[in-house]
């Protein structure tokens, strides 16, 4: 059991959860695509069934081209769980690789090509910080049974914390079900770390008037009375890629082409979600474009690499970036450089494991409970 003492702590965004950062050896730093592609292919051939490469939808082209499976964070975790391979090389960010480690067998090893691939939003709700806030929040509503729910985009220790308090994990595709699960068991929800996904889910459930926000970085942002009143308490975290989209972007697209349709990720602000035609996880975005009729125009509100993949994969559809040149790539996802992929694969061929993601056993057990509860909803 993970036990955490409630304590006053300095808030500090730790972007890099793992301290075994390894520098890419010099010989790999300047490889061109023409040089590395045959080396990656050769390493994969040598490793055969011993390795599986997973690529999140936001990974760059040079990574997804080598992936056995491409998908959203939930699908990739399921693929990792189903895989027999000894090594799971994860093209994604730390929290995704941790989830893969939690649900794969003990004799499987998860490798993240670069340890610097840490999602800033996951770093906005550190378990110790949440534990300290938990004491304040539960004191504000002493009679209430508060169930914590954490978005998949969080570290394993926070998933473990949620399980230890009777809560669970959700993804962008099953957040409403997770909220309903929690309301069957408790009176209030603390949702972490993404306030936008939390708010959008509250709207889906018709509970938009029942929200309070908890800002752990601002003494004015923690209102015990609002917590006592509310049913849904939202941690004040956000994704800096998705926060950039605004309703003006949607308006501009529609003004330019009244037939254009808009699909966005639920990490976007409420105003953007309300203005869009379709809202969903990265796999919903992929399915929307895959099922579009030739000649249709779709603007996409998510990380730019996925928009670029969809332009390549579906040339029959006119795929646009919702905020044009201002659309961002995810800095964390970008850390998975194809030269790092070359390096970790060639090291495996040489019998050396680099950049292994290994969740501490006591966290792993509880985080697995939070993930299993998610599968129930
Ligand atoms: P998905 O779970 O929809 O793939 O999203 C992950 C993510 O990081 C979105 O920013
Ligand atoms: Fe995290 Fe946002 Fe990047 Fe997704 S897009 S991994 S939420 S920073």
DSSP assignment of 133-162, as one string?
Answer: HHHHHHHHSTTS-EEEEEESSS-HHHHHHH
Beta strands per DSSP E along the chain: 51-56, 69-71, 87-91, 109-111, 146-151, 168-170, 188-192, 211-214, 232-235, 261-264, 278-279, 297-301, 318-321, 356-357
In a shared domain, residues 151 and 111: no
Q: Hey, what's the torsion of the CAs at 61, 78, 197, 327, to 10 degrees?
A: 0
- Predicted confidence (pLDDT) at residue 329 exceeds the cutoff of 50: yes
Pick the last residue of a domain from 213, 235, 257: 235
> What's the pLDDT at 20?
67
Ligand 1 geometric centre to CA of 281 (Å)? 6
Same domain for 31 and 14:
yes
138: its two tokens:
């539960």
The pLDDT assigned to 77 comes to 83
In tens, the pLDDT along 343-363 reads 999 999 999 999 999 999 989
Residues 100 and 148 in one domain: no
**Pocket lined around ligand 2, Cβ cut-off 6 Å:** 93, 119-121, 153, 239, 241, 267, 303, 330, 332-333
* Strand-pair category, 69-71 with 51-56: parallel
Is the pLDDT assigned to residue 110 strictly greater than 50?
Answer: yes
- Lowest mean per-residue pLDDT among 21-30, 61-70, 139-148: 21-30
What confidence tens digit (pLDDT) does each residue in 54-101 have? 999 999 999 999 999 999 988 898 899 899 999 999 999 999 999 999
The answer to whether residue 247 scores a pLDDT higher than 60 is yes
Confidence of residue 7 (pLDDT cuts 50, 70, 90): very low
Of ligand 2's listed atoms, the one at least distance from the Cα of 93 is 6
The mean pLDDT of 122-132, rounded to a whole number, is 95
Based on the domain organization, do 133 and 153 belong to the same domain? yes
Note whether 342 and 354 are same-domain residues. Answer: yes
pLDDT of residue 11 exceeding 60: no
* CATH code, domain carrying 304: 3.40.50.10800
* Residue with more model confidence, 73 or 274: 274
Same domain, 37 and 126: no
Q: Are residues 26 and 109 in the same domain?
A: yes
Number of domains in the chain: 3
- The candidate with the shortest Cα–Cα distance to 148, out of 132, 166, 136, 133, is 166
Q: Which of 1-10, 107-116, 122-131, 252-261 has the lowest mean pLDDT?
A: 1-10
Residue of 175, 281, 333 to mutate, ligand 1, most atoms within 8 A of C-beta: 281
User: Are 41 and 65 members of one domain?
Assistant: yes
Higher pLDDT, 166 or 324: 166
Give me the pLDDT at residue 375, please. Answer: 84
Final residue in a domain of this structure, among 182, 204, 235: 235
Does residue 222 sit in the same domain as residue 303? no
- Residue 122: CA atoms inside 13 Å, Cβ hemisphere, count? 24
pLDDT of residue 74: 83
Please tell me the predicted confidence (pLDDT) of residue 296: 98
Q: Identify the domain boundary among 235, 260, 282.
A: 235
> Which of 80, 122, 265 best tests ligand 1's pocket when mutated (most atoms within 8 Å of CB)?
265
Query: Going by CA atoms, what residue is nearest to atom 8 of ligand 1?
Result: 153
pLDDT averaged over every residue in the chain: 93
Give residue 338's domain range: 2-120+333-376
Are residues 151 and 229 located together in one domain of the fold? yes
**Mean pLDDT to the nearest integer, 246-260:** 97
Distance in Å, CA 240 to ligand 2 centroid: 7
The pTM of this model reads: 0.93
**Does residue 163 share a domain with residue 116?**
no
Number of the ligand 1 atom closest to the C-alpha atom of 153: 8
Both 202 and 153 in a single domain? yes
User: pLDDT: is 114 or 375 the higher one?
Assistant: 114
């Amino acid at each position: 059991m993970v036990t955490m003492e409630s304590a006053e702590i300095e808030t500090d965004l730790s972007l890099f959860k793992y301290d075994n950062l390894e520098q890419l050896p010099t010989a790999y730093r300047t490889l061109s695509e023409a040089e590395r592609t045959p080396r990656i292919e050769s390493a994969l051939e040598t490793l055969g069934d011993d390795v599986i490469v997973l690529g999140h939808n936001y990974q760059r082209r040079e990574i997804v081209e080598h992936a056995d499976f491409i998908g959203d964070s939930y699908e990739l975790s399921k693929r990792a769980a189903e895989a027999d391979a000894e090594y799971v090389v994860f093209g994604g960010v730390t929290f995704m690789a941790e989830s893969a480690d939690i649900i794969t067998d003990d004799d499987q090893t998860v490798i993240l090509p670069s340890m610097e691939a840490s999602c800033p939003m996951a770093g906005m709700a550190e378990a110790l910080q949440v534990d300290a806030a938990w004491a304040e929040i539960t004191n504000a509503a002493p009679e209430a049974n508060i169930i914590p729910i954490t978005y998949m985009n969080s570290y394993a220790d926070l998933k473990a914390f949620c399980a230890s308090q009777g809560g669970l994990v959700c993804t962008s595709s099953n957040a409403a079900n997770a909220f309903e699960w929690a309301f069957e068991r408790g009176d209030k929800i603390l949702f972490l770390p993404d306030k936008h996904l939390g708010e959008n889910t509250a709207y889906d459930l018709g509970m938009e008037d029942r929200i309070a926000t908890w800002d752990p970085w601002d003494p004015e942002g923690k209102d015990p009375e609002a917590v006592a009143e509310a049913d849904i308490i939202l941690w004040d975290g956000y994704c800096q890629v998705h926060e950039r989209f605004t309703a003006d972007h949607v308006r501009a697209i529609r003004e330019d082409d009244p037939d254009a349709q808009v699909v966005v990720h639920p990490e976007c602000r409420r105003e953007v979600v309300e203005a869009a035609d379709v809202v969903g996880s990265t796999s919903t975005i992929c399915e929307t474009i895959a099922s579009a009729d030739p000649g249709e125009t779709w603007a996409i509100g998510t990380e730019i690499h996925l928009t670029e993949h969809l332009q390549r994969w579906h040339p029959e559809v006119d795929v646009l970036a919702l905020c044009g040149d201002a659309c961002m790539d995810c800095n964390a996802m970008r850390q998975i450089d194809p030269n790092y992929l070359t390096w970790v694969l060639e090291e495996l061929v040489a019998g050396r494991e680099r950049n292994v993601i290994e969740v501490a056993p006591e966290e792993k057990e509880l985080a697995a409970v939070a993930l299993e509860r998610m599968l129930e909803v």
